[in-house]
Amino acid sequence: MTEAVIQFKYALRPATPGAAAAAATLAPLLQDAQALGVMGRDPDRYDGLAFGNLSFGPAAGSGFWITATQTADQPILNEESVVLIKDWSIADNSLHAAGRRPPSSETLSHAAIHGRRSGLPTWVLHGHAPALWARARTASESGPWTVTSPRAANGTVAMARAIAAATTGASGLIVMGGHQDGVIAYGPDAAAVLALLTSVLEAT
């Protein structure tokens, strides 16, 4: 099982100014995602591990903010719940971060989207939606999503490359074929991400 297992190399420096503000910025979307059931913690799923993560960028200067590992079930985010990703290399499976806790295990998937939309406002929500995931992987009809290869597992370079290839516009929905129940919605702001994901879930 690779849920919540960090598979990339990373250097973690001390927390940077702006963490509290970034946490406050992400908090409303976290609460909305928890209400939808796509982020949180369920003792009957994934060995009781928390699932889902959020990011937005660009951060001041460069990079993006992302929730730290195992924070999706928190009632509210604080400055210890977020990490600044300053630079990364998908090819080298590595990144540099600043924060008090390790970044999410899906950070490279988020980085793939932020990299494709370099310099543009971008929000990313990775959640778990079992019914949507199953439908998208087996449906004969096309849908408002792109499905990545089942051979690209979660948290891997292969997944990050597949996510980058699937990022083709200002917003989109990606079903992670090699990550059980995993979906990613991205857009130019939190409202766009939430609206896209909600509309597809309601139609599933």
Instruction: Please give the pLDDT value at position 5.
Output: 84
Q: How far is 132 from 68, CA to CA, in rounded Å?
A: 25
What is the value of pTM for the model shown? Answer: 0.96
Instruction: Please give the pLDDT value at position 143.
Output: 87
Instruction: Please give the pLDDT value at position 40.
Output: 97
Instruction: Please give the pLDDT value at position 115.
Output: 96
The three state secondary structure string of the chain is CCCCCCCCEEEEECCCCCHHHHHHHHHHHHHHHHHHCCCEECCCCHHHCEECEEEEECCCCCCEEEEECCCCCCCCCCCCCEEEEEEEECCCCEEEEECCCCECCCHHHHHHHHHHCCCCCEEEEEEECHHHHHHHHHCCCCCCCEECCCCCECCCHHHHHHHHHHCCCCCEEEECCECCCEEEEEECCHHHHHHHHHHHHHHC
Instruction: Please give the pLDDT value at position 60.
Output: 78
Instruction: Please give the pLDDT value at position 107.
Output: 97
Instruction: Please give the pLDDT value at position 142.
Output: 78
Q: How many alpha carbons fall within 13 Å on the CB side of residue 166?
A: 25
The terminus-to-terminus CA distance of the chain in angstroms comes to: 27
Instruction: Please give the pLDDT value at position 182.
Output: 97
Average pLDDT, consecutive stretches of 10 residues, N- to C-terminus, the chain (204 residues) = 80 92 97 98 93 94 93 95 96 96 96 96 98 87 89 96 96 96 98 97 89
Instruction: Please give the pLDDT value at position 92.
Output: 97
Instruction: Please give the pLDDT value at position 120.
Output: 95
44, exposed or middle or buried, with CB in 10 Å at 0-12, 13-18, 19+? Answer: exposed
Domains and CATH numbers, the chain: 9-203 (3.40.225.10)
